Amino acid sequence: MSRRNRAILVTAALIGAAPETAYGQQGATPPPAPVSVPIVVPLPPPGANLPEVKPIIPDDEFEKSVPKLDPADDPELAKPLESIDDFERRMASEQAGAKPLEGQAPPAGDPALADKQAIEVIGDAPIRDAELTKPLPPLADFKVEQVKFVDAPADTRDVEIAYQIQLTGLTDADTLTEADLAGRFNKLSALRHGKGKAANTAQVASRAGEDVALIKKLLAAEGWFDAQVTTRLDRSEATDGQPLLAVLEVVPGKRFAYSSITVKADPTVPLTLIGDNLELKLGDPVRTEQVLVEEAKVALALPEGGYPFAEVGQRDILLDQDTGGADYILPVTVGPRGTYGEIVSEGNEAFGADHVALLARFKRGELYDSRKVDDLRQALIATGLFKGIGIEPRRTGIAGPDGSEVVNLAVKQEAGPPRVLAATAGYGTGEGFRAEASWTHRNFSRPEGALSANALLGTQEQGAGVTFRRSNAGKRDRSFELAADLHHSNYDAFSAYTGRLAARISYDSTPLWQKRFTYAYGAQLIGTNESVYNPLIVKRERRTYAIAGLSGQIGFDTTDNLLDPSKGFRFIALVEPEGSLNRGFSPYVRLRLDGSTYRRFGGKITLAARARVGTIQGVSLDDLAPSRRLYAGGGGSVRGFGYQQLGPRDPNNDPTGARSLVEGAFEVRYRFGDYGVVGFVDAGQAYTSQLPRLDNLRVGVGVGARVYTNFGPVRIDVATPLNRRVGESRFNFYVSIGQAF
């Protein structure tokens, strides 16, 4: 082998076998003998640049780690090593039973070979294993018999079986029937859930065992604490198609009743505060559900009655097996009676303790009531400024009125992200698409001073504006708002470019707190350039209007839900005194009254009705800006007609607006789960007269679908006008959030 073509030869033993042949089976062809196959691994040529290979452990480090051996400590270390040849001859001789070679001693430290005998005795029995010295038999002579598996008996294999249930003892007495234990068992039973089928009898037995435990729990929950339940699988009662009968026999035993009721607690004010809320009576059966309910009532009543640190302890119920009596003992730690002290704010604050106190519906020195503390917690959450909020009462040791103790409230704040992006969208026939997006800094000016910028993009409307709104302004639930916006609208009734400055103070309902009485008042300045029909020249022209006005609104609401009412009624009155500076000062007043009522039938059907009346007094129609006139028609008015399409029209059949209107609607709402359907009839008309009339009313009918969500119903309505006229759409569609009214 030349140096130029150096290689390493590696010999590998390969054992082959024919495909699909089991090695060692009787009659199988034995595998071939081992074959030596050279594997050639070429080496790199001389002078090749090889990577440097560093030792894992340097030599000096290895030498230091090896312990030093001193021959003086162990004489065996000084003896010369036995050669390999001598070792092999000695081992062969010992295996043949011969003595060690001359001059060789048995291995040191091996007591078994110290007597130089090849036969060793363990206990009383000598062990001679001559087979160890025999050569292995040839592989061709080695035979293996194929393993045969015996089939299991047919009745022990897992085969699906059917079964029936026989339950006795749960309806043998009126008290058992009244507790409906059998009905509750059927809802929870493992055997019942199996629907009469199981893989084998073991599974039926397991289910029966679960049901035994279930029955005992159900009975114990109703006062039968020593019930006996036996079960068996009976084949003797087999019927056609039901080869197995699972039998559960119940012996309820005696039912335990209260023989004494003891509450271990300090006196309260009033003295009956605990007793009035723990409605357990002597002689009543011991029922788990009732015990838990009554104890929960006590745990709520104490903090609501002035005891913020009260704790209900672990009850004891002592049973007398002989009499069936039960001694009920409840320990209660009442703690001091508290009155409100200071509010302390902690953590990452959105605003200070003084604004927290503004939201509270209690004053310092009043008796502590946990319901008012919960109300304060909800008010803080409703601001939308927190990702975490907690309120904890703390003892001060300071004496309060009537023997009470002053309790401070620690408000733990964790302010959330103040900036919010939001968007809404909707569609209505006549109005087209309408989408609005806004950016808001909810705490731009502390406390709760929100700055918003919004943009409106629609088929017939476009605009942008800026609004500053301070929530809870000087009083809880009162808001102050400043707004400036620019707006362009292009409807059949008018086309307008409008700028507005407005201020408003309101006390409104919110999804969290729906108020019975609401109000709002404000002022606004409007500058607008609009197209208006001029009857003198029998065409439209553009005019500029400057309008200043005030507004006032009051509302009364007894409904059960802000966005989806099902009972109660609402009433809203709006008054807007205004003055137009077009061709001199023309004062007038806009009035509108809205009312609606709701009634539910059968839990799923709601009947709803609405009425609206509007009027503008003190100005002629021609001196009134088109955008300030009254219009009827559309998704929030009279469905079945386009937006602003009802009322007087010009020679081009375009709406001109009106000075009065009347509207009415009736709906039948049917809800099933998170969905609903609605049938409705709407009617209305707008008039040029100052007072509304009831002639020439137009009617639209339709149906709708509702998808109920956690933020209100999504509304999809389709309507058609009755006695449709030329130019009116056959169908009109409306999509929005919330009911139509």
C-beta of residue 568 within 8 angstroms of C-beta of residue 557: yes
Tokens of 617: 């007094």
Give the separation between CA 711 and CA 559, rounded to whole angstroms: 17
Q: How many CB atoms lie within 10 A of CB 342?
A: 14
Specify whether domain 158-251 bears CATH 3.30.60.
Answer: no
Fold of 257-333: Ubiquitin-like (UB roll) (3.10.20)
Helix (H) or strand (E) holding 531: strand 517-534
Which of 3.40.50.2300, 2.30.40.10, 1.10.3720.10, 3.10.20.310 would CATH assign to domain 338-415? 3.10.20.310
Exposure of 150 in the CB half-sphere (CA atoms within 13 A) = 2
C-alpha distance across the termini of the chain, in Å? 103
- Pairing of β 405-415 and β 338-348: parallel
Tell me the domain boundaries of the chain: 158-251, 257-333, 338-415, 419-737
Give the separation between CA 496 and CA 510, rounded to whole angstroms: 32
C-beta of residue 515 within 8 angstroms of C-beta of residue 477: yes
Helix (H) or strand (E) holding 64: helix 59-65
**CA-closest candidate to residue 555, choices 593, 583, 610:** 593
Spans of the chain below 50 pLDDT: 1-41, 98, 101-103, 108-110, 112-114, 118, 122-123, 125, 149-150, 152-157
What percent of the chain stands above pLDDT 90? 55
Give the separation between CA 136 and CA 144, rounded to whole angstroms: 16
C-beta of residue 435 within 8 angstroms of C-beta of residue 451: no
> Which SS3 state, helix, strand or coil, does residue 197 take?
strand
Alpha carbon distances (Å) from 109 to 76, 95, 113, 162: 11, 19, 9, 72
At residue 129, the pLDDT reads 58
At residue 734, the pLDDT reads 87
Tell me the CATH number for domain 419-737.
2.40.160.50
Give the separation between CA 298 and CA 265, rounded to whole angstroms: 12
What residues form DSSP beta bridges with 353?
none
Give the separation between CA 366 and CA 158, rounded to whole angstroms: 73
Q: pTM for the full model?
A: 0.67
| C-alpha 238: how far from chain center | 49
Asked if 257-333 and 419-737 have one fold, the answer is no
Tokens of 741: 């009214």
